[in-house]
């Protein structure tokens, strides 16, 4: 289960509307609770560095990710997931999304942005024991 405050949830959906017709992407910061819930307290926006086809691919600069991770730790926050948008496509993960997901146990949130307006937001947890075993599992989002 992924718990997000309404403000943070609105912010990540709005990000996808702002970058439409291109994908947005960013990082979810918060904490892993003992019961397996992830609580998101903040999102960090990332620049989309994928210049070849930014409308259907996303990529976070590793240097940017390290900076976000360090700044989060200074506030006592962990990276609990990632988010991106699917302009004019359903909020379902693609094979590319799975191939590029490497943080097992983290949440991958996808928002569909139809004609510039955010519609469905879904979350998938990257489950499995290692890279060859990884898979996306549907996850409840609770505001």
How far apart CA 121 and CA 111 sit, in angstroms, is 4
CA distances from 84 to 35, 36, 59 (A): 26, 23, 10
Beta bridge partners of 108: 82, 124
ω into 58 cis (within 30 of 0): no
Q: How far is the CB of 84 from Zn ion (least distance, A)?
A: 5
The stretch among 4-12, 91-99, 121-129, 133-141 that binds Zn ion (CB under 5 A) is 91-99
Closer to Zn ion at the Cβ: 97 or 125? 97
Instruction: Give the contact letters, 112-141, x = binds to Zn ion (CB under 5 A), - = no.
Output: ------------------------------
Give yes or no for residue 97 binding Zn ion (CB under 5 A): yes
DSSP state of 3: E
Question: Active-site residues: which are they?
Answer: 23
Q: Which residue is nearest to Zn ion (CB)?
A: 97
Q: How far is the CB of 96 from Zn ion (least distance, A)?
A: 7
How far apart CA 24 and CA 15 sit, in angstroms, is 6
Give yes or no for residue 83 binding Zn ion (CB under 5 A): no
Instruction: Give the contact letters, 6-35, x = binds to Zn ion (CB under 5 A), - = no.
Output: ------------------------------
Which SS3 state, helix, strand or coil, does residue 122 take?
Answer: strand
């Amino acid at each position: 289960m992924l718990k997000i405050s309404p403000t943070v949830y609105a912010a990540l959906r709005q990000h996808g509307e702002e970058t439409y017709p291109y994908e947005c992407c960013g990082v979810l910061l918060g904490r892993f609770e003992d019961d397996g819930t992830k609580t998101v307290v903040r999102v960090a926006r990332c620049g989309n560095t994928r210049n070849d086809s930014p409308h259907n691919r996303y990529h976070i600069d590793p240097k940017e990710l390290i900076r976000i991770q360090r700044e989060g730790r200074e506030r006592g926050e962990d990276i609990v997931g990632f988010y991106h948008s699917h302009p004019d496509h359903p909020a379902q993960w693609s094979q590319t999304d799975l191939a590029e997901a490497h943080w097992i146990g983290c949440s991958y949130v996808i928002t569909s942005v139809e004609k510039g307006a955010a519609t469905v937001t879904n979350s998938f947890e990257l489950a499995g024991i290692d890279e060859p075993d990884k898979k996306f599992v549907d996850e409840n989002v609770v505001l």
